[in-house]
Amino acid sequence: MGTNSKQTTKKKPKNSIPAVAETITKSKKRTRKVSQSKPQPACPIGDIEDFQFREDEVKEIRASLLKWYDVNRRDLPWRRINDSDDADRDRKAYAVWVSEIMLQQTRVQTVVNYFNRWMEKWPTVQHLAQASIEEVNEMWAGLGYYRRARFLLEGAKSIVEEGGQFPRSLNDLRRVRGIGEYTAGAIASIAFNEAVPVVDGNVVRVIARLRTISANPKDKETVKIIWRLAGQLVDDNRPGDFNQALMELGATLCTFLNPNCSSCPISAQCNALLESKQNPKTVVTDYPTKVAKVKQRRDFSAISVVEILECEEGRVDTKINSRDSSSKFLLVKRPEEGLLAGLWEFPSVSLKGEEADLVERREAIDEFLKNSFGLKLDIVAREEVGEYVHIFTHIRLKMYIELLVLRSQDLRTKEKADMSYKYVDMKTLGSMGLSTGVRKAYNMVQKFKQSRSSLLKTVCS
């Protein structure tokens, strides 16, 4: 995949014309039409299989990009670990792994604090392997895509079971659960100096603009070709720095909407920029091709924050909004597979993709609470708190949130084969790592209780 890999390419004439001015056409015998006055047109998928960077271009891109990166790279905690002379290779690999998993579909600014807290709690893969999924989910809460956190834990356990040493090569890294092609390339190149490419959305955008690739960037064949082009570019001596430089360029200068071409260190090799100068109808942001987003599914659910009063005998006038209240809250664990797998949430009922009125929502919740937990619905207070729309990648979930306060009752958890649940006090609930949607529901209920304190008084019996 790196520049040392064996590739069979046609020899070019000594006075070959820059690739910017070449147009590749197909026939029984491949020929090249040359035009020095026009930029190279965008390449459809059928024509870029043989489309490579020239050797002189590769050298220029490597030198310019690394020089720029050495001066402009952002100071990030995982890079500090990799720059440290006393950090062993396994510690470097672990830092790269954790940071890259966190950075997937998450902003760098958000990740920094999460990364620092994570590394403080689990500084090595051995420490992480001893954690529980509940602890990991709590540390991950707010980052989303919780499946990534689960794979980190499972991967750590598998590495420790195999002896505790991080795999040293791309192929061995790919055998670890949760480590795919991208993450394996990042660890191998950054921590172990293996000359292999890394391709994320930023790299796709940079390469698509360098070569004016108009094919669908999410198409399987296009992705394969961009990986090959990235492999041609990666620097043999500084593969980790080069891969980070390419990603850094896409994240800071060669951005999706407002590329800063005047500051780009490799603008001289950018076909998209040249084409935009020669054709007023073309702009750099035409590349890569915009792909229509998948239409979001619209889901609806009824959320019931169930609070059960726990009062000592003879105690009266308990305010359920008091921080000293001994109330218990019911939490249900989601299935181990699927959306938000293994996380704790308030009791919820799916409304089967449709809006539902208050009566229908309450009937559904009541049936769920009775059948699943054997709760007696001895209601102290029941109030509609509000609505909240939570956006997932492909789902728009509208949640109807209510507060349901029940009188004290037997809270012994009954064993159910298909469901895990527990009762927690307010202090525990406030410190738990809850998903963004559940945390929002909790905060809405707390705010509601504070505003309606005069109504939320009762006598325990």
Q: Which residues are catalytic?
A: 100
By the 10 Å C-beta count (0-12 exposed, 13-18 middle, 19+ buried), 247 is classed as buried
Map residue 203 onto helix, strand or coil.
helix
Three-class HEC string of 420-431: EEEEEEHHHHHH
Buried/exposed 55-80: b ≥16 CB within 10 Å, e otherwise:
eebbebbbebbbebbeeeeeebebbe
What residues pair up with 31 in beta bridges, in sequence order? 25
Distance CA 17, CA 372 (A): 73
Distance CA 19, CA 356 (A): 60
Distance CA 343, CA 350 (A): 17
Distance CA 272, CA 288 (A): 10
In the chain the first and final C-alpha atoms are separated, in Å, by 73
Q: How many residues does the chain have?
A: 461
